[in-house]
Amino acid sequence: MTILAENINDCQSFPLSVRYQSKPASLPYFVVNVFRSPDCMNYTKSNAHFQEHHWDIRIENVDFDILVHKADPVIIDPTRIPEDARVIVPKHTSDIFLHDEVAQQILKLKPTGMKLVPAQVSVETPAERAKVMRALAAVRRKWEPRIEEAKKLAALSLSEALGIAIPPACEAQLREFAGTIRKHGEVFDLREMVRETQSMRKATDVLWPHHFICVGNDGRGGVFAVDTSKARTDSGPVVYSDHELMQEHAGKIVPHLEHAADSLAAWVAKNCRTPKLR
């Protein structure tokens, strides 16, 4: 399935390639394109449940559970939508798939800060795949100056900045990781890794292990970190800890196994794309 989706980071449209697992009888689906606006800000965080994907779902004054498949599409359970819901704002993602009945229920709520667009279903061909990668390469070219800046902070500098000894295999993967593009269009920056890790160390409500390096977050308080103490022939495992669980366990990191990855390379493969420049 090839969907034209909105890149919410710079408001440029580019195609995303996603796998379609449901039966054709379940069509149509809708893609939610999210636009930044005042309506998207300052809502209380929901009690959303995540699996494989890391969406930031926010809704005003209510709990909102979503059911997520291990791969695309993301399905929102219509029975979980409260009658008094007024604002449903997915953030930091370009596409969420809704059954038609769910889309109709959401439309009745007159939501703000979002737009429902019919999804076009097709079998992805090599030509379509090439089109996707060309579009992502264009995004990469736009970010090239920042990518080069990101690479200037080598893993050795990162080790010095964080005051930890980074194993050689982990250093190699961190170097390779610099400059990759997250699926929603952001460029990973090693300087950001330093800032996030130092911020987590200073947090008063989190007992952040000194040997953990923060490599990302889910936009709702959950963090992804490389456990360098377990690095052997690769970077060491990537763990995910949900903010709510950390609060429940007095700030301790409580890994979610379903969000874990055996190595940084495996996590990058799941969360990032690195198209070749032409």
Specify the pLDDT at position 206.
74
DSSP 63-101: ----EE-SSSPEE--GGGS-TT---EEEES-S--EEEHH
Summary mean pLDDT of the chain: 55
CA separation (Å) from 160 to 85, 149, 164?
49, 18, 7
Mean pLDDT is highest, among 5-9, 146-150, 229-233, for: 229-233
- Structural domains present in the chain: 2-118 (no CATH), 143-273 (3.40.1580)
C-alpha to C-alpha distances, 18 to 81, 94, 97, 122, 256, nearest whole angstrom: 25, 11, 11, 11, 25
In contact, 5 and 116? CB cutoff 8 Å: no
- Who wins on pLDDT, 254 or 276? 254
Least confident of 42-51, 76-85, 105-114, 160-169: 42-51
The gap from C-alpha 96 to its chain's centroid, in whole angstroms, comes to 12
Q: Find out whether 2 and 132 touch, Cβ atoms under 8 Å.
A: yes
- pLDDT, tens digit, 9 for 90 and up, residues 132-154: 567 656 666 766 676 666 566 65
Does pLDDT of 159 surpass 70? Answer: yes
Q: Which of 11-15, 46-50, 166-170, 182-186 has the highest mean pLDDT?
A: 166-170
- pLDDT tens digits, one per residue of 211-228: 888 887 766 667 788 888
Q: List C-alpha distances in Å: 209 to 3, 82, 198, 203, 249.
A: 40, 39, 11, 12, 14
pLDDT for 36 beyond 70: no
54-79 confidence digits (pLDDT tens): 333 333 322 333 333 333 334 445 55
What is the model's pLDDT at position 167? 77
Rounded to whole angstroms, what are the CA distances from 276 to 8, 136, 143? 22, 9, 13
pLDDT for position 165: 81
Residue 13 or 173, more confident? 173
Per mean pLDDT, which range of 5-9, 174-178, 242-246 is the poorest? Answer: 5-9
Q: Which amino acid would we find at residue 263? A: S
CB atoms within 10 A of CB 196: 18
Two structure tokens written together for 75: 């399905």
- b/e 218-245 (16+ beta carbons within 10 angstroms → b): bbbbbbbbbbbeebeebbbbbbbbbbeb
Angle ∠(245,248,249) on CA atoms, nearest 5 = 90
Number of other CB atoms surrounding residue 98 within 10 Å: 22
Under a CB-based contact definition with an 8 Å cutoff, are residues 89 and 58 in contact?
yes
Percent of the residues in the chain that have a pLDDT greater than 70, as a whole number? 27
Q: For residue 196, is pLDDT > 80?
A: yes
Q: Residue 130: which pLDDT band, with cuts at 50, 70 and 90?
A: low
By C-alpha distance, which of 216, 224, 225, 184 is closest to 90?
Answer: 184
